[in-house]
Amino acid sequence: MSNKILECNRQFVESILKKYNYDSHELLQMLVEIQKNTDKGYIDRDTIEFISRELNIPEIRIHSIISYYDALSMESEARYVINVCNGTTCGLMGNGRIEKWVEDILGIKKGEATDDGLFSLKETPCFGACDMAPAIRIGDRIYGNITRNKIEEIIEKLSRDELYPEDKRLSTDNGSLKIITSNFDEYDGMNIIDYIGLGGYEAFNNTVKKGIEESIDEISKSGIRGRGGAQYPTGRKLSQSRAVKNERKVIVCNADEGEPGTFKDREILKRDPYKIIEGMLIASYLTDANEGFIYLREEYYWMRDRIGNAIEKSREYGWLGENIKNSGHDFDIRLVSGAGSYVCGEGFALCESLEGKPGIPRSKPPYVKQAGYLQLPTLIINVETLAAITTVMKNGSEIFTEHGTEESPGTKVVCISGKVNTPGVYEVPFGISVMEMINGLAGGVSGGRKIGFVQIGGASGGILPGSKLNIGYDYETFSNLNMGIGSGAVVVADDTDDIVEYVGTVQKFFSHESCGKCTPCREGNKQLKRILERFKESKGTKEDVENYKRIVKTMEIASLCGSGKTEAVPLKNAMEYFEDDFLKRVVTDGF
């Protein structure tokens, strides 16, 4: 590294390394912070060499991390990178038009930059703005409901070095129940005194008074299941975590909300972050853990100050730290950032990422609860699940059991997007019909059209035709359909949307996000991509149909982690319910 470059950057980079005690396990956090706070907007070779020497690690390790995560780069980029979301909802809402508009306005193609280095155009996975689709991201600023006039105005202002006003991320929730989301709009999400005035931290006090066994039993009676997609009974998960004995145990709040069509955790973290911190505190007390992390997806970096404030205020008021409120329990939380990887929502991949490595799943056993982060017993738990724990321990299990069905008690926070009049986040009782959610809460299909199909649970969720939506939104109904509730996403397509094109979007997402570790997922995605491209061009064959089914089945059975296994669900449903749409694109014999 030249002395000139060191003179410019050494002090800044050294301050970041020092902040993290030159610990190579913090490498990902260092790299994210360096890139976010440098004018270059990327990590150059000289910086990589310097970090390598200071941390005494090989350069290839740094390269492997930067090349793995979407948010990190080793290449110079334009000052303003226009990232067009290629998620499922934005695909339905016309993201392809945005790319064409930008190409026309700036005279560049996707992947190119203007000659002056001011603008470039990229395609990026879903960044959680589905209620504003179609959306773009420039830096940490989100712009939604993009029209040609709006993108022209944004580009014009940025050309003059002026910021275009960012769209407010205020998701509609009119008509919702207010149980898990009871504090929404009751305070600003920042003031801890207001949170306490709403009964904040009563749930933790109740937990201490009840004791560990009775508290876990209360959570079990409520019927809460994991809200990140796995649907595992929360009381059982807490009991199993507590049973693993170790002097040092860890809790991780999984705020890596990467499922396309999903933005409920965004709203919970933004509008009621203290409830999540209290939920982590309760879970730590019940499982005898003393260290906590909130793993926040990079696409939500704009929320770091808000969440960091809630952590700091909780510490200041004695709700984090040593001997919390004379309970004899010590617990503290760190806020850490992801760097753009869907697979990091999986438990072991998240642990690898926390350790400053590429987020690649490990083989099981042992399980995360036994040997997760730094091989320590680790409890990974979703944002909404933590909010539900706080709700139950404040109000009692009856707050849940008086809603829902016998097998699916309580409520669920869902996010409805796509071709609906009022996209947003809604809290619904289990058992409500899917059709009622779409028509009653989200205002029905936009333009008065009919529903073509709906994907439920995120990109890995099942797909159902419009004719099969008069069903209960609950665990038992979806289990009978060999589907799951998933992340709570409900993406609605109308009768003009093409299922083959949509499945191509879903598969493209998984091709991009596959970590590549296991053969069924890695090679299966390569083959499925080729097959779907032929279908989209109406050049499919009957053999393609059979190979498609065979590959999907293999991925479902043999993939290493949940990502590869659940990817099979929408692909299988699409062929099950819409096989005729695929067959219409098969080349007829003799042509």
Is residue 1 over pLDDT 70? no
pLDDT at 409: 97
Asked whether the beta carbons of 565 and 458 are under 8 A apart, the reply is no
Strand ranges, E, within 476-568: 489-494
Residue 160 buriedness (CB in 10 A; 0-12 / 13-18 / 19+): exposed
Is residue 6 over pLDDT 60? no
pLDDT at 590: 44
333 falls in which pLDDT band (50, 70, 90)? Answer: very high
CA distance 539 to 545: 12
Q: How far apart are the first and last CA of the chain?
A: 62
pLDDT in tens, 122-164: 999 999 999 999 999 999 999 999 999 999 999 999 999 998 9
CATH no. of 80-159 = 3.40.30.10
**What single DSSP character describes residue 41?**
S
pLDDT in tens, 267-297: 999 999 999 999 999 999 999 999 999 999 9
Distance set, CA 41 to CA 246, 279, 561 (Å):
42, 36, 33
CA distance 336 to 296: 6
**What single DSSP character describes residue 25?**
G
**What single DSSP character describes residue 66?**
H
Residues forming beta bridges with residue 292, ordered by sequence position = 251, 333
Cα 203 versus chain centre, distance: 27
One-letter amino acid at 78 equals: A
Place of tokens 């929730």: 173
Q: Do domains 80-159 and 411-494 have the same CATH topology?
A: no
- The top-level CATH class assigned to 192-401 is alpha beta
204 falls in which pLDDT band (50, 70, 90)? Answer: very high
pLDDT at 169: 59
Average pLDDT of the chain is 94
Asked whether the beta carbons of 403 and 177 are under 8 A apart, the reply is yes
pLDDT in tens, 163-184: 898 877 556 677 789 999 999 9
CA distance 31 to 554: 37
Q: How crowded is the C-beta side of 137, counted as CA atoms within 13 Å?
A: 23
Cβ atoms within 10 Å, residue 64: 13
Level-2 CATH architecture, domain 499-583: Up-down Bundle (1.20)
Is residue 453 over pLDDT 50? yes
Strand ranges, E, within 185-261: 250-255
pLDDT at 589: 60
One-letter amino acid at 163 equals: L
Q: Where are the domains of the chain?
A: 3-68, 80-159, 192-401, 411-494, 499-583
pLDDT in tens, 101-115: 999 999 999 999 999
591 falls in which pLDDT band (50, 70, 90)? Answer: very low
pLDDT at 17: 97
Counts of helices then strands in the chain (DSSP H, E): 24, 13
Is residue 5 over pLDDT 50? no
6-20, 136-150, 436-450, 489-503: which range is least confident on average?
6-20
User: What pTM was estimated for this model as a whole?
Assistant: 0.95
Asked whether the beta carbons of 78 and 119 are under 8 A apart, the reply is yes
pLDDT at 7: 52
Q: Are strands 332-337 and 291-296 parallel, antiparallel or unpaired?
A: parallel
CA distance 137 to 130: 12
- Helix or strand (DSSP H, E) at 576: helix 562-583
Pick the CATH number of 411-494 from 3.30.360.10, 3.40.50.300, 3.40.50.2300, 3.10.20.600: 3.10.20.600
pLDDT at 76: 86
CA distance 389 to 298: 25
Is residue 588 over pLDDT 80? no
pLDDT in tens, 236-245: 999 999 999 9
**What single DSSP character describes residue 325?**
G
Residue 457 buriedness (CB in 10 A; 0-12 / 13-18 / 19+): buried
